[in-house]
Amino acid sequence: MKEHIYTIPLNEHFAKLESCPLCSLFEMMERNEVETITGASMMEPSIRIQTNKEGFCEKHLHQITQVGKKLPVALIFQSHLEEIFKDIDGKSGDHQIKKLDSLEKSCYICRRIKSNMDSIYSNFFHIYKTDSKFHDLFLKQKLFCLPHYKELLYYGSKNLSKKEFKLFTEEINNLEMRYLNELKGDIDWFCKKFDYRFAKEDWKNSKDAVERTVYTLCGNLPKNKSEA
Protein backbone atom coordinates (compact mmCIF):
# COMPACT_ATOMS: atom_id res chain seq x y z
CA MET A 1 0.00 0.00 0.00
CA LYS A 2 1.21 3.41 -0.98
CA GLU A 3 1.02 4.92 2.47
CA HIS A 4 3.14 2.16 3.97
CA ILE A 5 6.21 2.42 1.76
CA TYR A 6 8.06 4.52 4.35
CA THR A 7 7.68 2.05 7.25
CA ILE A 8 11.17 0.59 6.79
CA PRO A 9 13.01 3.92 6.36
CA LEU A 10 11.07 5.42 9.29
CA ASN A 11 12.07 2.52 11.52
CA GLU A 12 15.68 2.75 10.36
CA HIS A 13 16.04 6.45 10.98
CA PHE A 14 14.17 6.47 14.29
CA ALA A 15 16.39 3.61 15.48
CA LYS A 16 19.52 5.76 15.14
CA LEU A 17 18.68 7.80 18.26
CA GLU A 18 21.21 10.50 17.33
CA SER A 19 19.79 13.78 16.10
CA CYS A 20 16.44 14.56 14.45
CA PRO A 21 15.30 11.31 12.77
CA LEU A 22 13.26 13.17 10.18
CA CYS A 23 16.28 15.25 9.15
CA SER A 24 18.16 12.03 8.69
CA LEU A 25 15.32 10.57 6.58
CA PHE A 26 15.25 13.73 4.46
CA GLU A 27 18.99 13.64 3.97
CA MET A 28 18.64 10.12 2.60
CA MET A 29 15.85 11.20 0.24
CA GLU A 30 17.90 14.19 -0.86
CA ARG A 31 20.91 11.97 -1.56
CA ASN A 32 18.77 9.58 -3.59
CA GLU A 33 17.32 12.42 -5.65
CA VAL A 34 20.73 13.98 -6.32
CA GLU A 35 22.26 10.64 -7.29
CA THR A 36 19.35 9.75 -9.56
CA ILE A 37 19.31 13.10 -11.30
CA THR A 38 23.02 12.98 -12.05
CA GLY A 39 23.03 9.24 -12.78
CA ALA A 40 20.27 6.96 -14.04
CA SER A 41 17.80 9.71 -14.96
CA MET A 42 20.29 12.09 -16.44
CA MET A 43 19.24 11.54 -20.06
CA GLU A 44 15.57 10.79 -19.32
CA PRO A 45 13.68 13.31 -21.53
CA SER A 46 10.62 13.70 -19.27
CA ILE A 47 12.84 14.45 -16.27
CA ARG A 48 15.04 16.83 -18.25
CA ILE A 49 11.94 18.80 -19.28
CA GLN A 50 11.14 19.25 -15.59
CA THR A 51 14.67 20.14 -14.46
CA ASN A 52 14.98 22.60 -17.35
CA LYS A 53 11.80 24.30 -16.21
CA GLU A 54 12.17 24.20 -12.42
CA GLY A 55 15.94 24.35 -11.92
CA PHE A 56 17.37 23.89 -8.44
CA CYS A 57 17.70 25.86 -5.21
CA GLU A 58 21.17 26.97 -4.09
CA LYS A 59 21.62 24.05 -1.70
CA HIS A 60 20.75 21.46 -4.34
CA LEU A 61 22.83 23.15 -7.04
CA HIS A 62 25.82 22.70 -4.75
CA GLN A 63 24.93 19.09 -3.96
CA ILE A 64 24.53 18.25 -7.64
CA THR A 65 27.94 19.65 -8.49
CA GLN A 66 29.55 17.87 -5.54
CA VAL A 67 27.96 14.47 -6.21
CA GLY A 68 27.61 14.27 -10.00
CA LYS A 69 30.29 13.63 -12.58
CA LYS A 70 31.35 16.74 -14.49
CA LEU A 71 29.81 15.96 -17.89
CA PRO A 72 26.32 14.85 -16.76
CA VAL A 73 26.11 17.90 -14.51
CA ALA A 74 27.22 20.21 -17.33
CA LEU A 75 24.63 18.67 -19.69
CA ILE A 76 21.84 19.26 -17.16
CA PHE A 77 22.96 22.86 -16.75
CA GLN A 78 23.43 23.34 -20.50
CA SER A 79 19.80 22.60 -21.35
CA HIS A 80 18.58 24.44 -18.25
CA LEU A 81 20.47 27.57 -19.31
CA GLU A 82 19.13 27.26 -22.87
CA GLU A 83 15.59 27.20 -21.51
CA ILE A 84 16.18 30.25 -19.32
CA PHE A 85 17.69 32.10 -22.28
CA LYS A 86 14.67 31.29 -24.48
CA ASP A 87 12.33 32.43 -21.69
CA ILE A 88 13.85 35.84 -21.14
CA ASP A 89 15.70 36.79 -24.33
CA GLY A 90 14.03 39.80 -25.97
CA LYS A 91 11.24 39.92 -23.35
CA SER A 92 10.10 42.98 -21.39
CA GLY A 93 11.62 43.76 -17.99
CA ASP A 94 8.33 42.87 -16.28
CA HIS A 95 8.21 39.51 -17.99
CA GLN A 96 11.81 38.82 -17.06
CA ILE A 97 11.18 39.70 -13.40
CA LYS A 98 8.23 37.30 -13.32
CA LYS A 99 10.15 34.47 -14.96
CA LEU A 100 13.26 34.86 -12.82
CA ASP A 101 11.17 35.23 -9.70
CA SER A 102 9.40 31.95 -10.31
CA LEU A 103 12.72 30.30 -11.14
CA GLU A 104 14.16 31.51 -7.84
CA LYS A 105 11.23 29.93 -6.00
CA SER A 106 11.35 26.56 -7.69
CA CYS A 107 13.58 23.53 -7.24
CA TYR A 108 13.05 20.14 -8.85
CA ILE A 109 14.50 18.25 -5.86
CA CYS A 110 12.75 20.25 -3.13
CA ARG A 111 9.43 19.75 -4.92
CA ARG A 112 9.97 15.99 -5.28
CA ILE A 113 10.81 15.58 -1.61
CA LYS A 114 8.00 17.82 -0.50
CA SER A 115 5.45 15.90 -2.51
CA ASN A 116 6.31 12.77 -0.48
CA MET A 117 5.64 14.56 2.77
CA ASP A 118 1.97 13.64 3.13
CA SER A 119 2.72 9.94 2.62
CA ILE A 120 5.65 10.00 5.04
CA TYR A 121 3.61 11.58 7.82
CA SER A 122 0.51 9.47 7.23
CA ASN A 123 2.81 6.44 7.35
CA PHE A 124 4.44 7.78 10.50
CA PHE A 125 1.12 8.19 12.33
CA HIS A 126 -0.09 4.82 11.13
CA ILE A 127 2.84 2.99 12.74
CA TYR A 128 2.82 5.34 15.74
CA LYS A 129 -0.70 4.10 16.46
CA THR A 130 -0.44 0.46 15.47
CA ASP A 131 3.15 -0.65 16.12
CA SER A 132 4.07 -0.63 19.79
CA LYS A 133 7.76 -1.17 19.02
CA PHE A 134 7.82 1.95 16.87
CA HIS A 135 5.88 3.83 19.53
CA ASP A 136 8.57 2.96 22.08
CA LEU A 137 11.22 4.05 19.62
CA PHE A 138 9.41 7.36 19.18
CA LEU A 139 9.41 7.91 22.95
CA LYS A 140 13.17 7.32 23.08
CA GLN A 141 13.99 10.11 20.61
CA LYS A 142 16.41 12.71 21.89
CA LEU A 143 15.11 15.59 19.82
CA PHE A 144 13.39 16.89 16.75
CA CYS A 145 14.62 20.00 15.00
CA LEU A 146 12.00 22.73 15.43
CA PRO A 147 10.77 22.69 11.79
CA HIS A 148 10.15 18.92 12.00
CA TYR A 149 8.68 19.28 15.48
CA LYS A 150 6.19 21.76 14.04
CA GLU A 151 5.42 19.47 11.10
CA LEU A 152 4.83 16.52 13.41
CA LEU A 153 2.33 18.60 15.36
CA TYR A 154 0.69 19.85 12.17
CA TYR A 155 0.36 16.42 10.55
CA GLY A 156 -0.59 14.93 13.92
CA SER A 157 -3.58 17.25 14.07
CA LYS A 158 -4.60 16.01 10.60
CA ASN A 159 -3.93 12.29 11.09
CA LEU A 160 -5.03 11.64 14.67
CA SER A 161 -8.32 11.83 16.53
CA LYS A 162 -8.64 14.63 19.11
CA LYS A 163 -7.91 12.25 21.94
CA GLU A 164 -4.94 10.68 20.16
CA PHE A 165 -3.58 14.10 19.25
CA LYS A 166 -3.72 15.23 22.86
CA LEU A 167 -1.71 12.20 23.96
CA PHE A 168 0.73 12.64 21.08
CA THR A 169 1.24 16.31 21.99
CA GLU A 170 2.01 15.36 25.59
CA GLU A 171 4.51 12.72 24.52
CA ILE A 172 6.34 14.82 21.96
CA ASN A 173 6.30 17.83 24.29
CA ASN A 174 7.94 15.84 27.05
CA LEU A 175 10.86 14.81 24.93
CA GLU A 176 11.27 18.08 23.05
CA MET A 177 11.07 20.33 26.13
CA ARG A 178 13.57 18.13 27.95
CA TYR A 179 15.94 18.58 25.00
CA LEU A 180 15.33 22.35 24.67
CA ASN A 181 15.93 22.79 28.37
CA GLU A 182 19.26 21.00 28.09
CA LEU A 183 20.20 23.07 25.05
CA LYS A 184 19.26 26.26 26.88
CA GLY A 185 21.45 25.15 29.79
CA ASP A 186 24.35 24.49 27.42
CA ILE A 187 24.03 27.88 25.74
CA ASP A 188 23.80 29.57 29.18
CA TRP A 189 26.98 27.81 30.26
CA PHE A 190 28.70 28.65 26.95
CA CYS A 191 27.97 32.37 27.54
CA LYS A 192 29.09 32.15 31.18
CA LYS A 193 32.43 30.72 30.10
CA PHE A 194 33.28 34.12 28.62
CA ASP A 195 32.98 35.65 32.09
CA TYR A 196 36.43 35.67 33.71
CA ARG A 197 34.98 34.17 36.89
CA PHE A 198 34.13 30.96 35.02
CA ALA A 199 37.06 30.92 32.63
CA LYS A 200 38.81 28.08 34.44
CA GLU A 201 35.71 25.90 34.76
CA ASP A 202 35.05 22.94 32.51
CA TRP A 203 33.13 23.59 29.27
CA LYS A 204 30.83 20.69 30.21
CA ASN A 205 28.56 19.90 27.28
CA SER A 206 28.56 23.42 25.89
CA LYS A 207 31.39 23.52 23.35
CA ASP A 208 29.14 22.95 20.33
CA ALA A 209 26.02 24.59 21.81
CA VAL A 210 25.97 27.30 19.13
CA GLU A 211 26.13 24.75 16.28
CA ARG A 212 23.49 22.57 17.94
CA THR A 213 21.23 25.60 18.30
CA VAL A 214 21.54 26.39 14.59
CA TYR A 215 20.69 22.76 13.76
CA THR A 216 17.71 22.85 16.13
CA LEU A 217 16.40 26.05 14.58
CA CYS A 218 16.87 25.07 10.93
CA GLY A 219 16.96 21.29 10.66
CA ASN A 220 17.18 19.91 7.19
CA LEU A 221 14.10 19.96 5.05
CA PRO A 222 12.97 21.42 1.78
CA LYS A 223 12.40 24.97 2.73
CA ASN A 224 10.63 26.17 0.17
CA LYS A 225 10.98 27.51 -2.41
CA SER A 226 8.81 25.44 -4.73
CA GLU A 227 5.20 26.27 -4.15
CA ALA A 228 4.86 27.11 -7.83
Site for Zn ion, rule CB under 5 A:
20, 22-23, 57, 60, 107, 109-110, 145, 148, 219
Residue 67 C-beta: closest distance to Zn ion, Å: 13
Nearer to Zn ion, 68 or 219 (CB): 219
Residue 130 C-beta: closest distance to Zn ion, Å: 24
Residue 213 C-beta: closest distance to Zn ion, Å: 14
Residue 48 C-beta: closest distance to Zn ion, Å: 17
Nearer to Zn ion, 146 or 187 (CB): 146
Residue 200 C-beta: closest distance to Zn ion, Å: 36
Nearer to Zn ion, 58 or 188 (CB): 58
SS (H, E, C) the chain: CHHHCCHHHHHHHHHCCCCCHHHHHHHHHHHHHHHHHHCCCCCCHHHHHHHHHHCCCHHHHHHHHHHCCHHHHHHHHHHHHHHHHHHHCCCCHHHHHHHHHHHHHCCHHHHHHHHCHHHHHHHHHHHHHHCHHHHHHHHCCCCCCHHHHHHHHHHHHHHCCHHHHHHHHHHHHHHHHHHHHHHHHHHHHHHHCCCHHHCCCCCCCCCCHHHHHHHHHHCCCCCCCCCC
Nearer to Zn ion, 37 or 107 (CB): 107
Nearer to Zn ion, 134 or 149 (CB): 149
Virtual torsion, Cα 128, 131, 137, 140, nearest 10 deg: 60
Residue 201 C-beta: closest distance to Zn ion, Å: 32
Nearer to Zn ion, 17 or 191 (CB): 17
CB 157 within 8 A of CB 150: no
